Homo-oligomer: A and B are copies of this chain.
Amino acid sequence: MTYCVGLRLDRGIVFASDTRTNAGVDNVSIFKKMHIWERKGERLLVLLSAGNLSVTQSVVSLLNERLHLAADGSEPSLMTVETMFQAARLVGQTVREALADQDEAARENPGLFSASFIFGGQIEGDIHRLFLIYQEGNFIEATKDTPYFQIGEHKYGKPILDRVTVAPMRMGEAAKLVLISFDSTLRSNLSVGLPIDLLIYRKDTLTIGEQRRIEAEDPYFRKLSHAWSEALRDAFARIDEYEALDAGGPPPISLVPSKPPAKEEA
């Protein structure tokens, strides 16, 4: 499995992805799931991928090949599209193309070739935007109401995102939030693993704000992980205990069997 998050805030976008892939529990590898295209001052595009690795790698390879093919401008590429919407469309088309190669195999093994993507960034003249791209090639965009997307093993890390995310957050707060969401996921699911790739994009800079690979021994992540555990236990301890009340609710089913009527002695 995989866990990736993208958080679109007023001030920019935070992207994070884990790096574990597995084919069964005894075949675990590290693969980068964050792919970046940048031309400083003009555009920064980030793609996070989850699902079948052969499909997601094909998508990235096709996008990269198109950069060169399209150098004459005859075909759109991530380098030539003029808006984030057009970039997301291009990624969607490329996903369809990559899956078409597996068409026959996919019909025989539905679900095997699943893939999903978080795609975001900014192109000069457009605002910073974030999309969730499905394997069918269609996509949705993050809004103020739902400023984040998750792909992969998303459930463990969702409660804290649901509670804390607000569009006006500082970028440092958002990065902390994303890492806490990862920490919860890492603890509960073996198929999501360190290191984490983290990228912070500050709007209108049109360049990577910060990019970092967070390893198990990363001092900030260790401190955060420890502090969050402590804080949760503290928070738990500070809430009133459940006080016993008298038994209520519907009565249990009686275990005394209804006897067959015995022949009464007269």
Residues on A facing B (Cβ under 8 Å): 32, 35-39, 43, 64, 67-68, 70-71, 78-79, 155-156, 158-160, 162-164, 170-173, 175-177, 179-180, 184, 187-188, 197, 200, 208-213, 220, 223-224, 227-229, 231-236, 238-250, 252-260
Chain B CB within 10 A, most for which of A180, A227, A243, A252:
A252
- Cβ of A38 and Cβ of B227 under 8 Å apart? no
User: What would 16 A/B residue contacts be, using CB atoms closer than 8 Å?
Assistant: A37-B252, A38-B252, A160-B236, A164-B232, A171-B244, A175-B241, A176-B239, A176-B240, A180-B236, A180-B239, A197-B249, A211-B248, A213-B250, A220-B242, A220-B243, A235-B235
**For residue A63, which residue of chain B has the nearest CB?**
B253
Give which listed residue, B67, B71, B223, B235, contacts A231 with CB less than 8 A: B235
A153 to chain B, nearest CB (A): 8
Copies of this protein, total? 2
Known: A67-B255, A224-B239, A235-B235. 15 other contacts (CB 8 A): A39-B255, A70-B257, A156-B156, A156-B158, A159-B187, A162-B188, A164-B232, A164-B236, A176-B242, A180-B236, A208-B252, A209-B244, A210-B245, A227-B239, A231-B236
